[in-house]
A and B are shown apart, each in its own frame.
Chain A
Amino acid sequence: MLDSKTPEGPLADKWTKYKDHIQLVNPANKRSIDVIIVGTGLAGSSAAASLAEMGYNVKAFCFQDSPRRAHSIAAQGGINAAKNYQNDGDSVHRLFYDTIKGGDYRSREANVHRLAEVSTNIIDQCVAQGVPFAREYGGLLDNRSFGGVQVSRTFYAKGQTGQQLLLGAYSALSRQISKGKVTMYTRHEMMDVVVVDGKCRGIIAKNLVSGELERHSAHAVVLATGGYGNVFYLSTNAMGSNVSAAWKAHKKGAHMANPCFTQIHPTCIPVSGEHQSKLTLMSESLRNDGRIWVPAKKEDAEAIRKGAKKASDISEADRDYYLERRYPAFGNLVPRDVASRAAKERCDAGFGVNETGEAVFLDYASAIERYGNTEANIRGLKSQSQAEITALGKEMVKAKYGNLFDMYKQIAADDPYEMPMKIYPAVHYTMGGLWVDYNLMTAVPGLYAAGEANFSDHGANRLGASALMQGLADGYFVLPYTIGDYLSKDIRTGKISPDSPEFKTAEAEVQSRMDRLINNNGTKPVDYFHRRLGRIMWDECGMSRNEEGLKRAIQAIRSLREEFWKDVRVPGAINSFNPELDKAGRVADFLEQAELMCLDALERRESCGGHFREEYQTAEGEALRDDDHFAFVSAWEFTGDPGEAKLIKEDLVFENIELKQRSYK
């Protein structure tokens, strides 16, 4: 059984009490303590800036050419905070409750409550830094609503909230770099963590430009290295997003928690062909006004797939608005996991609407008409023709969603004002990640995980606009306290030597793996294997899973891994700028981690949030949770082979919330 180190006392007082009683490090001692931060997204940049500001010597690492490029930058929708500026009944408790429920009761109460508590500080902090959030005419901050909640608590900067928040954190980081308190290592990738006498004491990093390995020592290491959605090859993640840092930590003793919890986002632009390298999200906000449908008759669907019919040829009576049909109470606004599964169900049944059969319509025709009529009324226009109403409506929709419609047009080469968009679910976020305790420390003392890289706050399904909140909460407001408490015991340790046998061994291991990859003399490029892995994962460990399929996947992954090491071809040399070699290392890690994901999905014999096991569903096809047997975190300990990992449980105790079956009917 794992100890979460959750402080005693009433839920709402835990964090305050904790902060009041931790050990502090005095300013002089902070100057002789080093901290390494890997990754410079929201969690990493904010942690690096905050710790440096407090006086620690920080080294920060990112594989991109600048810390500002981390994939937090691509978040569109917004960031939640319990400010209750709209006076609509929001509170810290309500944000806490929504997040636990949205996560289908598979997250830790104390962590989520702390997240809700510090959410308000995030907005204050970001505004002080000059983040240009959207404003109302009176100059106050504007809010909007997001899926799965009944209040307006989402702060936003058009469709680029992630960009603006990351640039805010990047500016705070840049300020500390200019002061010399943070040493920034760009185009550097962490290759391994180094554990000395049971404590994490540094990393082996690779300078991606020169190809050289470097040893960096520290008193503590923070991994803020994001999620592992790219194990599916196709996802909304950036091309470089990878599991390697977390996986290396796992192999050195950190537990991987709930690895099978993956978020599949319902509204993405469908795959257009074999060449596809990534998928693009269309914001959740489109489901506010758009209606999702497929033809009710199979022959119509077939005709559309062959190009013999268009969406507009299908009469209203022959359309199946399946979300409205199945979930009358929430309709098109059901949570992400539910909407994704429903789309898959229709496509699997033969009603898909593009060449591959994997797409459904997101239709704005009725919204255009509705907006058109409203606008005509507002402008006092009488007896308008249908065409005039439609033109007005398009104008209104453009004002609201114009940039998204343009993006769709650019990628799909189709005009969404005239024809419904075609959309399909895609991998978007991973709720699972490194197991951490209340202090965000992994099972390895001195090794921390923050942001998407840890598992802690979103349970089995993340709510929209909560990832940005968690990244900044961890970096700005949680780690600065919890790391200090740990480091207070390290003030007499002195400088950590990067020349100990542990560092040398770790470096030699990294070196020999790179040698093996580069001298493999295989015939196929890295992407060939990555694509095949993605297909296996998507088919067997994607939106719905079953025992047989997962067992099949485990076998397939094992043989693919073998084939990879026999036949992969990595061009170029080791001591040079070699992106193919870097990619090969990352895919090699995905090939191991994928097996653990399937194992975790196999062992979790219930359905919850994004994890849908076909064997465990209600008569109506909804997810069937089993709280009696599975109200725990599955933390996996590495034992030498990815598929032989040992399951350690952390029981989830709900003292403040009553467990209920989620219903959106």
Chain B
Amino acid sequence: MNLTLKVWRQNGPDDKGHMETHPIEGVSPDMSFLEMIDMLNDQIIRAGGDPIAFDHDCREGICGMCSMFINGEAHGPGRGVTTCQLHMRSFKDGDTIAIEPWRASAFPVIKDLTVDRSAFDRIIQAGGYVSVNTSGNTIDANAILVPKVQADEAFSSATCIGCGACVASCKNASAMLFVSAKVSQFALLPQGQPERESRVLRMVEQMDKEGFGNCTNTGACEVECPKGIDLSNIARMNRDFLKSSAKSEN
């Protein structure tokens, strides 16, 4: 396959940035999207240029590091896949492909397609945990009963990989899907109950502080989420947030 790539280049957060065009030949349909970028970078380096910087690590769809906005969609045209699991057979010979970074003011560009997502870490630090020490001397694991349906639902919420596709897809750059997935995991489990109210308040407060936008229920995040985290998480978080806010204002 021969393709034309239009790639976002930006040398640091203060640079204005621009699209750069690269023709690429001999792309195999069996390549993953990132392997195609590897091939392009190999060309660029051999020609004495500056390769495209992009985040990636596990290349099996679970670490959440890869983050490309391809032809106007987070992680490209596939559903339920990250950029690293997208294969070139999803494209046709002669296609022009536009590749951009996640765009959100809370995710400043470091270089080219690499952005800073440390805001997500700070939101987790604000309360995305159960306050239990790691002594191992808790009660026996089977002393905490969790109905299977609830456990499975908590697991579904917990599968969020923190990639940020939800933020990149949202016209308001809202992080509600990410935050609500963690809030929901603990809200659904008995272990999460003692801190349920303070957790949601603290995490939402941090989310706002980081400069993420508000949710207007367009559902774009749910469509683009590679792990299928659904909007019911946001509904659950809103409910918990309202309840906790009302209580804390008394």
* A residues whose Cβ falls under 8 Å from a Cβ of B: 46, 49-50, 53, 64-69, 71, 73-74, 83, 85, 118, 121-130, 132-141, 157-158, 160, 163-164, 167, 170-172, 174-175, 177-178, 184, 186, 209, 236, 238-240, 272-273, 275-278, 280-281, 407, 410-411, 413, 476-477, 523-525, 527-528, 569, 571-572, 576-577, 579-580
**Number of CB contacts from chain A to chain B under 8 A:** 218
Collect the chain B residues with CB atoms within 8 Å of residue A174's CB.
121, 124-125, 128-129
| Contact (A129, B130) CB under 8 Å given A164-B155, A569-B45 | yes
Most buried by B among A122, A132, A281, A477: A132
**Of the residues A124, A410, A576, contact of B138 by C-beta under 8 Å:** A124
Top 6 closest pairs, chain A to chain B, by CB: A121-B136, A139-B145, A171-B129, A128-B138, A132-B155, A127-B141
Q: Which residue of A lies closest to B138 (CB)?
A: A128
Contacts of B89 in A (CB 8 A): 413
Task: Tell me, yes or no, whether B6 is within 8 Å of chain A by CB.
Answer: no
Please tell me which one of the listed residues A124, A129, A410 contacts residue B140 in the complex, with CB atoms under 8 A apart.
Answer: A124
With A157-B155, A410-B85: A139-B147 Cβ-Cβ less than 8 Å: yes
- What chain A residues lie within 8 Å of B31 (beta carbons)? 273, 275
Given known A-B contacts A66-B118, A239-B56, A410-B81, A128 and B132 have beta carbons under 8 A apart = yes
Tell yes or no: B105 within 8 A of A by CB: no
Interface string of B138-155 (1 = CB under 8 A from A): 111110111110011011
B131 within 8 A of A: yes
Given A171-B128, A413-B87, A124 contacting B51 (CB threshold 8 A): no
The interface residues of chain A lying within 8 Å CB-to-CB of B121 are 66-68, 174, 177, 184, 186
- Which B residues lie within 8 Å of A122 (CB)? 136
Verify if B97 is at the interface (C-beta below 8 Å from A). no
Residue B171 lies at the interface, judged by CB distance under 8 Å to chain A: no
A571-B57 in contact given A123-B141, A130-B191, A410-B81 (Cβ < 8 Å): no
Contact B58 A273 (CB under 8 A): no
Asked if A272 and B191 sit within 8 Å, CB to CB, the answer is no
Contacts of B192 in A (CB 8 A): 130
16 new A-B contacts at CB < 8 Å, known A130-B129, A135-B146: A73-B62, A125-B138, A134-B151, A135-B147, A135-B151, A138-B145, A175-B125, A184-B121, A272-B28, A276-B35, A277-B32, A277-B59, A525-B41, A525-B46, A528-B42, A580-B45
**Bound Cα distance from A85 to B144, whole angstroms:** 14
| Residues of A contacting B151 in the complex (Cβ-Cβ under 8 angstroms) | 132-135, 139
Q: When the two chains form their complex, are residues A170 and B124 in contact, meaning their CB atoms are under 8 A apart?
A: yes
Distance of A607 from chain B, by nearest CB (Å): 31
How many whole Å from B150's CB to the nearest CB in chain A?
A: 9
Least Cβ–Cβ distance between B3 and chain A, in angstroms:
14
Bound: A85/B151 CA distance, A: 18
A83, A238, A572, A577: the one within 8 Å of B141 (CB): A83
Contact of A135 with B148 at beta-carbon distance under 8 Å, contacts A238-B63, A277-B32, A277-B38 already known: yes
A276 to B49, CA, bound (A): 23
Q: Mark B181-223, 1 if CB is under 8 A from A, else 0.
A: 0000110010110000000000000000000000000000000
| Residues A273 and B30 in contact in the complex (CB < 8 Å), given A71-B58, A278-B59 | yes
Task: Check B145 against A140 for contact (C-beta < 8 Å).
Answer: yes
Residue of A49, A64, A65, A411 near B87 (CB, 8 A) is A411
B49, B131, B144: which contacts A175 (Cβ < 8 A)?
B131
Decide: A132 and B136 in contact? CB cutoff 8 A: no
Bound together, the chains give a CA A289 to CA B158 distance in angstroms of 29
Please tell me which stretch of B68-76, B108-116, B229-237, B238-246 contacts chain A, meaning at least 4 of its Cβ atoms lie within 8 angstroms of it.
B108-116
Chain A nearest CB from B68 CB (Å) reads: 14
Contacts of B191 in A (CB 8 A): 127-130
Contact between chains at A71 and B142 (CB < 8 Å): no
A577 and B53 contact, CB distance less than 8 A: yes
B interface residues with partner A (beta carbon < 8 Å): 12, 28-32, 34-36, 38-39, 41-42, 44-46, 48-51, 53, 55-65, 81, 85, 87, 89, 110-111, 114, 116-118, 120-121, 124-126, 128-142, 144-148, 151-152, 154-155, 158-159, 161-162, 185-186, 189, 191-192
Q: Which residues does chain B contribute within 8 Å of A134, judged by CB atoms?
A: 151, 155
Kindly identify which residue among A163, A177, A476 contacts B159, using a CB–CB cutoff of 8 Å.
Answer: A163
A171 touches B124 (CB 8 A): yes
Asked if B46 and A523 sit within 8 Å, CB to CB, the answer is: yes
Known: A129-B191, A130-B189. A64 touches B57 (CB 8 A): yes
CB <8 Å contact, B141 and A129:
no
Query: Contact: A132 with B158, CB < 8 Å?
Result: yes
Bound complex: CA A131 to CA B62 (Å) = 17
Given A132-B151, A275-B28, A577-B53, A69 and B118 contact (CB-CB distance below 8 Å): no
Q: Which of B39, B154, B162 contacts A132 (CB 8 A)?
A: B154
A651 to chain B, nearest CB (A): 32
User: In angstroms, how far is the closest chain B Cβ from the Cβ of A160?
Assistant: 6
Residues in A with CB closer than 8 Å to B155 are 132, 134, 157-158, 164
Nearest neighbor of A240 in chain B, beta-carbon distance: B57
B134 touches A476 (CB 8 A): yes
A and B contact pairs by CB, cutoff 8 A, 20 listed = A65-B117, A122-B136, A125-B132, A128-B132, A130-B191, A132-B146, A132-B154, A133-B151, A170-B124, A172-B132, A175-B131, A240-B57, A272-B30, A273-B30, A275-B30, A413-B30, A413-B89, A527-B42, A571-B45, A580-B51
What residues of A have a CB within 8 angstroms of the CB of B58 in the complex? 69, 71, 73-74, 238-239
Q: Give CA–CA (A477, B136) in the complex, Å.
A: 8
B48 to chain A: closest residue by CB: A571
Cβ 8 A contact of A275, one of B39, B134, B159: B39
Residue of B36, B57, B159, B186 touching A239 (CB-CB under 8 A): B57
Q: Are B159 and A160 in contact (CB under 8 A)?
A: yes
Smallest Cβ-Cβ distance to B154: which chain A residue: A132
Q: Which residues of B contact A160 (CB under 8 A)?
A: 62, 159
Which of A178, A272, A477, A569 is the one whose CB lies under 8 Å from B125?
Answer: A178
Q: B110: which of A73, A209, A240 is its contact (CB, 8 Å)? A: A209
| Known A130-B186, A135-B151, A167-B158: A53·B133 in contact at CB below 8 Å | yes
- Given that A135-B148, A577-B111 are known contacts, is A128 also in contact with B63, CB under 8 Å in the complex? no
User: How far, in angstroms, from A157 to B142 measured CA to CA in the complex?
Assistant: 15
Do residues A172 and B39 form an inter-chain contact, with CB atoms below 8 A? no
Bound: A163/B89 CA distance, A: 29
Bound form: Cα–Cα A64–B134 in Å: 24
User: Taking each of A69, A125, A238, which has the highest tally of chain B beta carbons within 10 Å of its own beta carbon?
Assistant: A69
Q: Closest Cβ of chain B: how far from A42's Cβ, in Å?
A: 12
| A172 x B35 contact (CB < 8 A) | no
Chain B proximity of A60: nearest CB distance (Å) = 12
| B121, closest chain A residue (CB) | A66
From B45, B116, B138, contact of A65 by CB (8 A): B116
Once the chains are docked, how many angstroms separate the CA of A463 from the CA of B138? 27
- Smallest CB–CB gap between B130 and chain A, Å? 5
Tell whether, in the assembled complex, residue A172 and residue B129 are in contact, meaning their CB atoms are under 8 Å apart. yes
Name which residue of chain A comes closest to B63, CB basis. A69
For residue B85, give the distance in angstroms from its CB to the closest CB of chain A: 6
> Which single residue of chain A is at the shortest CB-CB distance from B26?
A275
Chain B: minimal CB distance from A87 (Å): 12
Closest A residue to B147 using CB positions: A139
Central interface residue in A53, A71, A239, A580, by most chain B CB within 10 Å:
A239
Asked whether B139 lies within 8 Å of A124 as measured between CB atoms, the reply is yes
